Structure 1
């Protein structure tokens, strides 16, 4: 109940008239439509899909048409009974080719491209989830800044009232000059605090526009943060299965393994079935014509390449070792970041409970001090200190409330691609 109270306490300032309300999920949708960073990652994923299409084409037949046409003069000097003649040589051929055996190169290329696509999709999921966390941070930043402006304005109004009352009491001789000077100083402090809060609100709004692509007008309060794993072990288990960072590294390793097989395929022969239909006119002398159809098998086997094939195999092996090292590093990084992120969520939840109690106690103490100062039992300085403590407690609650939401989105971004 205390958590629910803390999440609803200090709601954002009223929605401006005429402004449409926006929720955090709606802000996330807007950001996904126009974020340049996400668009770049999605374009890379599209390129990976295109590479898979190209690789799969190696298993399909190809049909090639070639043709040429020219005009000129030939002089055969009486050979075959031909002298000087105008000719229009023309030739065309249509070839159908189907690969029969490639030493495993085509299969390896398809596997490499497929795993490359899987890695790209994982990166898109990770970028999307991280963008959601960034939007949540910007969204909560605006709400918190609005709350701080509202608190600062209320604090300034209280300080103006206290200072005005202190001036009257000083003129009547009820309080010393020191109390009036302290009240005046705290009034100036409140004005400076309001200026800082308004400046922070302007920065938060600008950051929101940069991330989401829309003005943060009429943001609705975040009632509850997204659900997260109940324990650290559950969080680590979820990350091991679906962390975008880990999935991308695993796919990259499998792609590198396929790259080694693809390089080794160059050492083996390749076979292809071909069928060709051709026609030629005036190709050698006037009136010459030839038409033909051939069906056969073409073979190719590189027996010596000067070390080029061995070099490609060594390069692919080095790429595989690099991918394996990257996978090991990703596993360690995912575990570390999940532990830290889950700890941030647990800490934020504990802090918001304490901040709720602190804000409630500070508000109650402030009411008591106001009454005691009003009847002359406490000096004005005590009221000024109580006002400051109440503002600090309420500000801490605002910050804690935002941290629960932000840390929850960050943890989920590490666990699941969205």
Structure 2
């Protein structure tokens, strides 16, 4: 009877598990590439990151504006009334209209405008790297969520199939117990294993729902039928290349480098605040006055121009403190760059070794699952002729289930580890992965923004 149970289970197990396994023949299957493109185009973190970059891009025209003049006009109207209480009382009214056109421009500010422009460029490039960091994080999260759903679906299918098998095993043991061919211990053991299997099914179902919720959060879609992806093709060849790429292209390293540039520009701005400044101002004023009953209006035009040279002599010493602080900050940023490089190197080593280890474990896990299945089948045959106990078969089935669950987890870990290597080397971007998406080009938005000095349009 145990042999018949195993045959029935084999067909049921195959049908159940295949519902969760990828199949290239299924035309409606979602691919990892599809989900990466979807997240790249519509994930809120990605969209917010691009908007944040557009905000920082505005620093460039703001810095350019420091070179440009300001032009303003002011208009006023005044009416004055006077009354005389002399022997010949009289009243008079005078209306005055005044219009002033003013022009002001800083001709030289000690070179601070140049430093401000350089700082704006460094800020923009730093924000571009921040966007790349966000992109890598989102794409890696999508990979993890995608593979978690595949793993948890396989695990749930395995545990449900195992529960069905244990139900059949319990029914068989109950019949044999009634025929006095099995002991009460055999029956109790079969019941205990079934209850434990039911609990693991509940846990596996909860894990799957959690993974599906994460998938929905990242992509905006509930997971459909998922196809098992292949390994990325742009992996580094060895640990040495992994470390070099990490120290060179990782966004956190680039951000730390730009932080040094920003600190140096701030120090330059503080230092140049002690230099002379030269300003130019000019105004054109037209005034018209009209006294009621006193003939035609009188017009007056005034033109003035002023050149102002300001030489700082003593500014309370606060600027010197700010300069010292700015220079200290430069040193701090350089130390932080070294820390970023060390962290990048450590993360690269960890990612590479995890990748190598995960791939090495896959073959062992496959062999373990195959051996456990062979052992289970052999024990089932021996049970049918009375050479094995029910407990022996239950133990073999538990070992097979563990091996199959471990294999599903190992396949997930191996593929995620490969993408972790790309993330650790700064290569996990839509461009590096050759995703069929409309690649966002930060430089294009910058070019559209940098000379927008006469419009409010976005």
| TM-score class normalised by the smaller sequence | 0.7 to 0.9
- 1:122 paired to 2:134: no
Partner of residue 49, structure 1: 57
- 1:136 paired to 2:146: no
- 1:88 paired to 2:129: no
Aligned residue among 245, 270, 273 for 1:266: 273
Partner of residue 149, structure 1: 156
Residues 248-397 of structure 1 mapped to structure 2, 5 A cutoff: 248-272=255-279, 276-282=283-289, 287-292=297-302, 297-397=307-407
> C-alpha distance in 2, partners of 1:261/1:255?
10
Q: What displacement does 1:186 show?
A: 1.4
1:13 partner SS: coil
In the superposition, relative to structure 1, how do residues 90 and 342 fare at CA in structure 2: closer, same or farther (>3 Å)?
same
Q: What displacement does 1:391 show?
A: 0.5
> C-alpha distance in 2, partners of 1:56/1:373?
86
Q: What displacement does 1:315 show?
A: 3.0
- 1:223 paired to 2:255: no
> C-alpha distance in 2, partners of 1:269/1:11?
79
Q: TM-score, normalised by structure 1?
A: 0.87
In the superposition, relative to structure 1, how do residues 321 and 39 fare at CA in structure 2: closer, same or farther (>3 Å)?
farther
| 8 Å CA contact 1:12, 1:220 repeated in 2 | no
2:287 partner SS: strand
- 1:178 paired to 2:204: no
Give the number of aligned pairs. 401
Which deviates the most, 172-181 or 104-113?
A: 172-181
Q: What displacement does 1:279 show?
A: 2.8
Partner of residue 218, structure 2: 211
> C-alpha distance in 1, partners of 2:155/2:113?
62
> C-alpha distance in 1, partners of 2:190/2:226?
36
- 1:243 paired to 2:250: yes
2:58 partner SS: helix
> C-alpha distance in 2, partners of 1:209/1:313?
50
| 8 Å CA contact 2:104, 2:279 repeated in 1 | no
| 8 Å CA contact 1:142, 1:204 repeated in 2 | yes
Give CA deviations for 1:362-415 in whole Å, capped at 9, x if unaligned: 122222222222232222222111110110000001111111122222221222
| 8 Å CA contact 1:226, 1:409 repeated in 2 | no
Partner of residue 433, structure 2: none
> C-alpha distance in 2, partners of 1:87/1:137?
78
> C-alpha distance in 1, partners of 2:329/2:63?
20
> C-alpha distance in 2, partners of 1:294/1:211?
63
Q: What value does the CA root-mean-square deviation take over the aligned residues?
A: 2.8
Q: What displacement does 1:14 show?
A: 6.9
| 8 Å CA contact 1:132, 1:409 repeated in 2 | no
> C-alpha distance in 2, partners of 1:177/1:251?
74
> C-alpha distance in 2, partners of 1:292/1:283?
18
Q: What displacement does 1:75 show?
A: 4.7
Give the unaligned 5+ runs of structure 2: 1-16, 85-89, 430-458
Q: What displacement does 1:114 show?
A: 1.0
Q: What displacement does 1:232 show?
A: 1.3
